[in-house]
Amino acid sequence: MEERKTMGLLKTVGLSVLGLAFALAAPLQPLGAQEHSENPSTDRSPIDLRSGQVIALLNGELDAPLEDVFTDGFLAAVPPTQLYVYCAQLAAQFGRAVKIETDGPPGANRLALTITMERAIGTGAIAIDPAKGNRITELLFRSFNPLNDTPAKITADLNALPGQIGAYFGPLDGKDPVLSINADEQFAIGSTFKLYILSALARRIQAGDETWDAVSDLSLARRSFPSGMMQDWPSPAPVTLQTLATMMISISDNTATDVLMQHLGVDAVITEMIESGHSNPRLNVPFLTTRQMFALKAAGDAVMDEYREASAEEKADLLASLSESELDQEAIQSTFAGGPVALDIEWFASPEDLRKMLIHMPKGGYGVPLKIMSVNPSMVESGWTNWSRAHFKGGSEPGVLNLTWLLYDRIGRPHVLTLSWNNKDANVDNAALELIAQRILALPQ
């Protein structure tokens, strides 16, 4: 969960893990290449020496304190624990780092780099600051292209993750999937449930009952909590339906989500879910708003137990009461700070359900739903090799991660990649699943 003004729960996630960057935005100037291997030579420039230390860091063999290699500013932005975890994830996915090649003018303090690992080739950048002992101010890995990867290898790595894993990768029509793991099992999906709201809105517009430029108001629903920004907007505030939908999908704005649910009516969203072919819609009834989910989990075990044992009518009454209660943002944060909380109180879908929903979603009307899903395509630079278009929604909370793409290949054929990971006992490793997603997106078509 990124962009934390607060914890940023229930937000979209994507392939951002590959950018460990701090400061310096000078343009790269690719010129003469220099190579740095595991066995460094002498008479190297300061940035070349630092590149050699990056290899040692990635291989867990750095013999100098991080404070001697990276600037204080870098380590403030990327704390040592996070840096070590990231390097371990790269090693687990792609093996040892073998060599780094840097490209740029002689004497430059920022260079493009290409890093060769045992099972992948990555690209990025490195920068140093001569005024600070030539320490590293930026280390950026943009993308990794796996070498000789296969669906079988990826399946083995997915199955090795702790907890429960579900996956589907293949044609939108479901025929001959490249990869399918527990594709008919139900998983908590976090903010990916918002695709059902987008689909219900698009359905109403397709029927002529709404227009994208119709205006709603943020006062329609009580403010939720981040992720998002609309919780901080003034009220009342007129907002078009297209703006609400774009905020809901692109930055997973929870307040925009709840306003749209109130505008459409929860029954319309449930109907959309059922008609899309969801295999077990009862799991999502009552269909929670984001504020209700926060309130329910923050209320504690006794209230959650009462909710689990209640009838449908009693659940609705309890949720209505909780929706009107005053919620403290710090209490919400502390509720989720210790790890997964009640993963049975969530939004659920199987990988197959999500594939079917992407078929069912109206895509006409100037293609607005797909345009909204492409505002944040969550695609690293190398990922576009296979794909001409990418439409994304993801979701997470502690113990829950979902990544879902509708993709169009270079000849226009639609595909789906959806990955779900649940672990009720521990936080899931977002970066690990994002790296695997990148490997899947890079598989030959």
Read off the pLDDT band of 52 (50, 70, 90).
Answer: very high
423 and 288 belong to one structural domain: yes
Whether 68 has a pLDDT exceeding 60, the answer reads yes
Predicted pLDDT of residue 10: 54
Which residues constitute the domain of residue 135?
33-146
DSSP 24-49: --PPP---SEEEEESS--SS--HHHH
pLDDT in tens, 290-314: 999 999 999 999 999 999 999 989 9
Whether 411 has a pLDDT exceeding 90, the answer reads yes
222 and 120 belong to one structural domain: no
Instruction: Judge whether 1 lies within some domain.
Output: no
Strand 387-397 and strand 400-409: the pairing is antiparallel
Q: What is the CATH number of the domain that holds 235?
A: 3.40.710.10
Whether 34 has a pLDDT exceeding 90, the answer reads no
Whether 27 has a pLDDT exceeding 80, the answer reads no
What's phi and psi for 195, nearest 5 deg?
-65, -30
Across all residues in the chain, what is the average pLDDT? Answer: 89
**What contacts 383, CB < 8 A, 6 or more positions away?**
15, 143, 390, 438, 441, 442
**What contacts 290, CB < 8 A, 6 or more positions away?**
10, 224, 225, 254, 255, 257, 258
Instruction: Judge whether 85 lies within some domain.
Output: yes
Query: How many domains, the chain?
Result: 2
Q: What is the C-alpha end-to-end distance of the chain, expressed in Å?
A: 31
Contact 137, 127 (CB under 8 A): yes
Read off the pLDDT band of 270 (50, 70, 90).
Answer: very high
87 and 168 belong to one structural domain: no
At 127, which helix (H) or strand (E)?
strand 120-129
Read off the pLDDT band of 254 (50, 70, 90).
Answer: very high
Whether 6 has a pLDDT exceeding 70, the answer reads no
Read off the pLDDT band of 53 (50, 70, 90).
Answer: very high
Q: What is the mean pLDDT of residues 187-207?
A: 98
Predicted pLDDT of residue 39: 52
Instruction: Judge whether 11 lies within some domain.
Output: no
Name beta bridge partners: 129: 135
Whether 183 has a pLDDT exceeding 70, the answer reads yes
Instruction: Judge whether 414 lies within some domain.
Output: yes
Contact 274, 280 (CB under 8 A): no
Tell me the percentage of the chain whose pLDDT exceeds 90. Answer: 74
For helices 312-324 and 290-298, the axis angle rounded to 10 degrees is: 90
Q: What CA–CA distance (Å, rounded) separates 436 from 432? A: 6
Q: What is the mean pLDDT of residues 115-125?
A: 92
